[in-house]
Chains A and B, each alone.
Chain A
């Protein structure tokens, strides 16, 4: 008897709906994507921000100066960093400040001491007085460190500033 040959069926999956959905998601993520700032991508520390309910205002992304106070995860030392978002201002402020060394000049974020922080804040205020200041500090810090930064802001007449916080999960 002749063998009944089963016919091999080549099959094709219609990928169109898959492509539709993937493109939809792709465009969504492409448009909502907000990339890490220059400074954020190079920084090696992470700040545990205090969690807060009430305020819903987002961080302003124009003319913002951020004083970061971070705890080194290895040595548990406290370090101040200063970041300026406006690139044009940044170049000028960095140039104006003596404590910024030549190799630091192209960095978006500088590790600073309290004295140089004072200079930087003053120069920032000179270059653009409407710059908004924010303090981004780790919640485990002693308040003294934050107070010192606030004092510098106060001395430079920047009495309205922001604390960077994170939204409390439900």
Chain B
């Protein structure tokens, strides 16, 4: 029982009353400068190494090589030609190509794709000349993509026989320009 007694004595020493009397609160300052140094170093490192603007992608699909010829009515084919000097021409079917500005393509595509009787049937083909700039082609595709927003919205408003919303079926593609077309465009 001696051990127990000793414990009791210690306890009384640690009691609150004695603590208040003897222990002095020491105010201390923690020097944070090295901490700040290191944090700033890491912060600047991460700030400079991160790439904020991550690149985006634009999805494209091209017709497969296996040619199962799809019959297309001429009046349902919208062609966009891009000449060597990056001038853009458009033609529906066999019409003579007309020049068009890049920023008008969106409106044109919307009108043509939603024209009565050709709704959801129009095929758009971009036919760039080999010497046109790649940037121009992507810009045209971008405009066509933007036009799709309205076209798809309009078409899905309609319903098929089963009462389901219609799907947008035909989009656009890229094709190579034929020799004749190249000649035709050159003269304009």
Interface residues of A (CB under 8 A from B): 12, 15-16, 18-19, 22-23, 25-26, 29-30, 32-36, 49-50, 52-60, 134, 136-147, 150, 153-155, 157, 159-167
Tell me which residues across on chain B come within 8 A of A155, comparing CB atoms: 65
Chain B 122-134 per-residue mask, 1 if CB under 8 angstroms from chain A, else 0: 0000001111111
Contacts A55-B59, A59-B57, A142-B133; is A29 near B50 (CB within 8 Å)? yes
**Docked CA distance A89–B88 (Å):** 42
Given contact pairs A29-B50, A159-B61, a sample of 7 additional A-B residue pairs in the complex whose CB atoms are under 8 Å apart: A18-B36, A26-B43, A33-B46, A141-B135, A142-B131, A143-B137, A144-B130
Number of interface residues of B (CB under 8 A): 46
Contacts A33-B46, A33-B50, A154-B62; is A19 near B56 (CB within 8 Å)? no
B64 within 8 A of A: yes
Contact A137–B134 (Cβ < 8 Å): yes
| CB nearest neighbor in B for A49 | B55
Contacts A19-B35, A23-B39, A154-B64; is A52 near B56 (CB within 8 Å)? yes
Chain B 48-78 per-residue mask, 1 if CB under 8 angstroms from chain A, else 0: 0111011111111111110000000000000
| CB nearest neighbor in B for A29 | B46
Task: Determine how close the nearest CB of chain A comes to the CB of B169; give it in whole angstroms.
Answer: 16
Q: Which of A15, A136, A142, A163 contacts B33 (CB 8 A)?
A: A15
Contacts A35-B49, A36-B51, A142-B130; is A50 near B135 (CB within 8 Å)? yes
Interface residues of B (CB under 8 A from A): 29, 32-33, 35-36, 39-40, 42-43, 46-47, 49-51, 53-65, 82, 128-135, 137-139, 141-142, 145-146, 149, 174, 176
Q: Which of B50, B58, B135, B176 contacts A139 (CB 8 A)?
A: B135
Tell me which residues across on chain B come within 8 A of A136, comparing CB atoms: 55
Contacts A15-B33, A56-B56, A164-B55; is A159 near B63 (CB within 8 Å)? yes
**Docked CA distance A142–B137 (Å):** 10
| CB nearest neighbor in A for B176 | A147
Contacts A22-B39, A52-B58, A147-B130; is A166 near B53 (CB within 8 Å)? yes
Contacts A134-B57, A157-B65, A163-B57; is A52 near B138 (CB within 8 Å)? yes
**Docked CA distance A18–B174 (Å):** 56
Contacts A34-B50, A49-B55; is A143 near B60 (CB within 8 Å)? no
| CB nearest neighbor in A for B50 | A33
**Docked CA distance A60–B142 (Å):** 19
Contact B39–A19 (Cβ < 8 Å): yes
Contact B55–A165 (Cβ < 8 Å): yes
Contact B174–A150 (Cβ < 8 Å): yes
Contacts A140-B135, A147-B130, A155-B65; is A34 near B51 (CB within 8 Å)? yes
Tell me which residues across on chain B come within 8 A of A19, comparing CB atoms: 32, 35-36, 39
Tell me which residues across on chain A come within 8 A of B135, comparing CB atoms: 50, 139-141
**Docked CA distance A36–B49 (Å):** 8
Task: Determine how close the nearest CB of chain A comes to the CB of B130; give it in whole angstroms.
Answer: 4
Q: Which of B29, B42, B50, B65 contacts A12 (CB 8 A)?
A: B29
Contact B133–A164 (Cβ < 8 Å): no
Tell me which residues across on chain A come within 8 A of B40, comparing CB atoms: 22
Q: Which of B32, B55, B62, B129 contacts A16 (CB 8 A)?
A: B32
Contact B131–A143 (Cβ < 8 Å): yes
